Amino acid sequence: MNFDALNAIAKAMVAPGRGLLAADESTGTIKKRFDSIGVENTEANRQTYRDMLFTTEGFEQYTSGVILFEETLFQKSLAGQSFSDLLQSKGVIPGIKVDKGAQPLANAHEDETVTEGLDGLRARLEKYHAAGARFAKWRAVINITENAPSDYAIHVNAHALARYAALCQEAGIVPIVEPEVLMDGDHPIDVCEEITDLVLDAVFAELSAQDVYLEGMILKPNMVISGKKCPEQASVQEVAERTVKVLKRRVPAAVPGIAFLSGGQSDVDATAHLDAMNKIGNLPWTLTFSYGRALQAAALKAWGGKTEGLDKGRAAHLHRAKMNGLAAQGKWNKGLEKGA
């Protein structure tokens, strides 16, 4: 294992003012996005949409890497260049989603899942590395309900995350470790804080037990936030303070960076929360973004599946990338959103 190379990639992924574009939607997930704008979910349309995102002039100033779906890693741009080569030519690191999705957890409550995809992963990672991928992503899903999560569900998912991470590092690929505590539900922020704390504690215990090289990984957690249906929504500052508190308690300083998921927040909320955390300062790791919908929603709507909408889609993508690049440095303010 080349520890120096893994550390160098991880540091590049969280370079100052840059974050990750999560464009790894499965075929089923992107269908929902396309349905919202009345676009048919065909391979050609998926190729055109992702080509629009990756050919946005200047997005690389704010984007260190892109998480790709397997189809996209082996797909070509409309100009005939592989998407992997296109991104690398812009100084953007190609990454790959490697999990096979969350499935019902045996002998558990119906609200609990475990992420599958470990079978055959070693061979797939070799193939992805050969295609240019230098980091990977695996998402574990933790649901908060009256009956969940159980210690069983937390630890099964933590164990799988660590197994995946170890296999990635063996293949020369930096693992993004993503334990997502969902913001669905009506729970208050206190409950999210408690569960996030338990989950991160379990995840780093497993990473240690499986000898994962912390300097060669990135953490992609949820923010500590009120449930979507909670009548009392925490302020931006409270979200920032509680999130940083939990991270300082549970995430070793050896981890180069933390790239948050947006988890269903609005575009501006996700940016504001990231900015407020960076304004706190005195943090042992870099805090940046790894957003999917919060970077893409405006671009998707502006494009609308029409050729004449491509430039509008690129402009919307660039704006959101720039806003989050500023937030990753604590330099964003709401007045800058007028550029939209």
The residues annotated with a catalytic role in the active site are: 178, 220
DSSP 309: G
Long-range contact pairs involving 298-302 (C-beta distance under 8 Å, separation at least 24): 298/267, 298/340, 299/52, 299/53, 300/33, 300/36, 300/37, 300/49, 301/37
Dist. CA 77–CA 92, nearest whole Å: 15
SS3 of residue 286 by DSSP? strand
Other CB atoms closer than 10 Å to residue 58's CB: what's the count? 13
Paired residues of 17 in beta bridges? none
Q: For residue 174, what are the β-bridge partners?
A: 135
Sequence-ordered alpha helix ranges (H) in the chain: 3-13, 27-35, 43-54, 70-73, 83-89, 121-130, 151-170, 189-209, 236-250, 267-280, 293-303, 310-327
| DSSP one-letter string for 54-119 | HT-TTGGGTEEEEEE-HHHHT-B-TTSSBHHHHHHHTT-EEEEE----EEEPTTS-TT-EEE---T
DSSP assignments along 250-261, one per residue: HS-TTS-EEEE-
| Three-class DSSP category at 176 | strand
Pair 94, 136: CB distance under 8 Å: no
The closest of 155, 135, 248, 145 to 199, measured between CA atoms, is 155
Rounded CA separation 162/2 (Å) = 18
What are the residues whose beta carbons fall under 8 Å from the beta carbon of 42, sequence distance 6 or more? none
